[in-house]
Structure 1
Amino acid sequence: MEVRERKAQTPLKEKLSDHYRKRDFTPKKKDVSKLGIAFFWGMTISLFLESVFYLIPHIYSGWNMVIFILLAIFTLFLTTINWMGMFFGSTGFVDKELSKKHFPQATETPRGWKYCPTCQVDAPPRSFHCTHCNACILKRDHHCFFSDSCIGFYNQRFFILYIVYMNWSHL
């Protein structure tokens, strides 16, 4: 009974200070990925607007200006399409049926494959476990900060074209 009375008597200032002292302010993996996506879209849109409404009209005039504005719009479109291919596309997650599909009569891990204890699956060569996605990815290259997805077997072409168009847009 005394504990309840003491808790009820603690002032609001002490409650708030206890709350913030116990709180964990370290960034989480999902928060960092959201910041990466926000950074990508913020920089892309701001650079596009700056180039279309300020840089191109001050450097070019007449038909040259129209051509470069259309080129900027086309580049933004291609960059967005390839980003969406990375973000929404399949990365090639390894599942339990993959080894059964290629080795139907195998009772143990096939030769050259490895067992992932985290996913509890047999993973083919050149596949790696991603701690961000918490899955094994076929032909995993890296976990992309800007799309919050692993770059793997099925979305690597979108990543390469995304990098090409992003570099082209900065020329």
Structure 2
Amino acid sequence: MEKLKERIVKCFTPRPHTDLQSEIINIIAAPIYLYTITGVFYHSFFYIMPYYYDSSSWTLFCQKCFLATIYFEMMSNWLCIHLVDNSLKTQVKHSTFNDRNNQGATKTDLESGIVADKHTPTRKGKIGTIPGPVSAPPTPKRRSYWSWHLCTKCDLNAPPRCHHCPFCDNCVLKRDHHCFFTRRCVGFYNQRHFVVFLVWAVFGTVYTTAHFIPYLLHVFLVSAWDLFAPFALLRACFGYGDFTTANIMFIFTFNLLFVMLSSAFLFEQIDLINTGITQFEQKKVDTKRLVISDPRHINDKVKAVLGHNYASSFVIPIMHLVYPPHENPFQWPEHKIYKK
């Protein structure tokens, strides 16, 4: 009992630089996502589509295959967001030094800012070795945003755009934001999966919502109040309804929420890719004093996130192993920094 109590207290005790609300969202967001998406797929596959289409027709078969594809793409990219590692610690651990300029380099050199990673793509889009920044300067008392800095928690010198996440407890390369629905930070290596996930999520949630509404109106609803999920649950608890209807209402309500959230995040990511900055820089950097500009063509900016053959990422989730992001996470030579 004591151990269980300690774990519960630990779960609801905010970590440094977080708050209780964020901690709670970090705990419940992923289960809500899995419950909603799996519930939508299950009911659409076995009940809603057969309601609309003849069970012996090819149309029903095609609709079910289409639903299965959407579900597969969403879940596989959701898993990739969680599993693909962006942490600086991992890069320090697995980096190799086969570049001619870095022969004889050690882990200490990397921790000091001398970086060579064989998995980093060259500017031509091929896999090759790119030497990183020459060295991280001594940590000054006052530093600019676009500079190497010492992370006291990781005990590593972090490159520009690399920030420590209190939830992941890691320095994340090109940290964009912490995604509560995957409990993982979106950064250099998994931003592509976040973008692809959002594209499929918007398409899938809108598509199922269009089929959900007529089905609910004709099959499940006793009154318009049942559209309000908590009311449907109360009706079921007092015997005036059933829990199946309440469950459907909660799934439908959360699906509508995901329509709005995924659409908002997708438009935001499109804007961030177009401007060449991260969500962290958009919200945390004082644009009145520092301007971050990426003058590259939009095609190059997309490759910097989705890799060289970026169209394939929307079909095959593991294409990050073949076409990594077309950029170096330790150097940002294409970006222009202006101080006002």
TM-score, L = length of structure 1: 0.74
Q: Larger RCO: Structure 1 or Structure 2 (Cα < 8 Å, ≥ 6 residues apart)?
A: 1
Amino acid at match of 1:100: I
Residue 37 of structure 1 deviates from its aligned partner by: 2.0
Residue 162 of structure 1 deviates from its aligned partner by: 1.0
Contact 1:83–1:147 (CA<8 Å) still a contact in 2?
yes
Cross-structure match for 1:151: 186
Distance 1:145 1:68, change over 3 A: same
Residue 127 of structure 1 deviates from its aligned partner by: 1.4
Amino acid at match of 2:86: T
> Does residue 1:132 correspond to 2:167, yes or no?
yes
Between stretches 153-162 and 36-45, larger displacement belongs to 36-45
Aligned partner of residue 88 in structure 2, secondary structure: coil
Contact 1:92–1:153 (CA<8 Å) still a contact in 2?
no
Amino acid at match of 1:112: S
Cross-structure match for 1:60: 53
Distance 1:32 1:106, change over 3 A: closer
Unaligned 5+ segments in structure 2 are: 15-22, 93-107, 116-131, 141-145, 208-340
Residue 93 of structure 1 deviates from its aligned partner by: 2.5
Cross-structure match for 2:64: 69
- Identical residues among aligned pairs (%): 28
Contact 2:139–2:149 (CA<8 Å) still a contact in 1?
yes
TM-score, L = length of structure 2: 0.39
Alpha-carbon distance between aligned partners in 2 of 1:107 and 1:116, rounded to the nearest angstrom: 13
Alpha-carbon distance between aligned partners in 2 of 1:72 and 1:46, rounded to the nearest angstrom: 12
Aligned partner of residue 91 in structure 1, secondary structure: coil
Aligned partner of residue 114 in structure 2, secondary structure: helix
Aligned partner of residue 108 in structure 1, secondary structure: coil
Contact 1:129–1:137 (CA<8 Å) still a contact in 2?
yes
Output one character per residue of 1:1-23: Cα deviation in whole Å (capped at 9) or x when no partner.
xxxxxxxxxxxxxxxxxxx9xx9
Between stretches 144-153 and 89-98, larger displacement belongs to 89-98
Distance 1:28 1:89, change over 3 A: farther
Superposed counterparts of 1:10-21, under 5 Å: none
Unaligned 5+ segments in structure 1 are: 1-19
Cross-structure match for 1:5: none
Cross-structure match for 1:119: 154
Superposed counterparts of 1:1-171, under 5 Å: 24=9, 27-28=12-13, 32-61=25-54, 62-94=57-89, 95=92, 97=110, 99-101=113-115, 102-103=132-133, 108-109=138-139, 112-170=147-205, 171=207
Aligned partner of residue 40 in structure 1, secondary structure: helix
Residue 120 of structure 1 deviates from its aligned partner by: 2.7
Structure of larger gyration radius? 1
Residue 130 of structure 1 deviates from its aligned partner by: 0.6
Residue 38 of structure 1 deviates from its aligned partner by: 1.4
Contact 2:136–2:157 (CA<8 Å) still a contact in 1?
no
Aligned length in residues: 150
Residue 34 of structure 1 deviates from its aligned partner by: 4.1
Residue 108 of structure 1 deviates from its aligned partner by: 2.6
Alpha-carbon distance between aligned partners in 1 of 2:191 and 2:158, rounded to the nearest angstrom: 19
Between stretches 100-109 and 161-170, larger displacement belongs to 100-109
Distance 1:134 1:25, change over 3 A: closer
Aligned-CA RMSD value: 2.9
Output one character per residue of 1:118-169: Cα deviation in whole Å (capped at 9) or x when no partner.
3232211111111111121111111111111111100111111111111111
Aligned partner of residue 136 in structure 1, secondary structure: strand
